[in-house]
Amino acid sequence: MTLSLSLPLVGIALVILSSAIEGFAQVCLKRSAMLAAGKLRWLALGIVLFIFEALFYSGALQSLDISTAYPLGALSFVSVILFSRWLLNESIDRNRWIGLGLIVCGAALVVG
């Protein structure tokens, strides 16, 4: 039995993956700005991740309209906030949680 995914689903998955990678890359850049030791390592990791993010996003554009892919890219805001909470211990207040929920709802509407 083989699993066959439609091209738009693959594109959506690639945009979600690229958004997660972008979120982690942003946190790496923040870490490089916070530390004196290891600054270049975090900076290099962030840059490499941005390159991978661009490659995955370009792959998504092969199967999605830009009018779908670009709004889905707003999920990177969600990943930045979640990664910064998890890895940098930044606080997320009620308004940010509401904003994250609205972004996810908007992305679902774009795909829907």
Q: Is residue 68 part of a domain?
A: yes
Q: Is residue 1 part of a domain?
A: no
DSSP state of 73: T
Distance of CA 22 to the CA centre of its chain: 4
Q: How many domains are contained in the chain?
A: 1
What pLDDT is recorded for position 99? 95
Q: Please give the residue range of the domain that contains residue 18.
A: 7-111
Q: Is residue 23 part of a domain?
A: yes
Q: What is the pTM of this model?
A: 0.88
Residue 81, pLDDT > 90, answer yes
pLDDT in tens, 1-37: 455 668 889 999 999 999 999 999 999 999 999 988 8
H helices present in the chain, as ranges: 7-34, 39-61, 66-72, 75-88, 94-111
Q: Is residue 2 part of a domain?
A: no
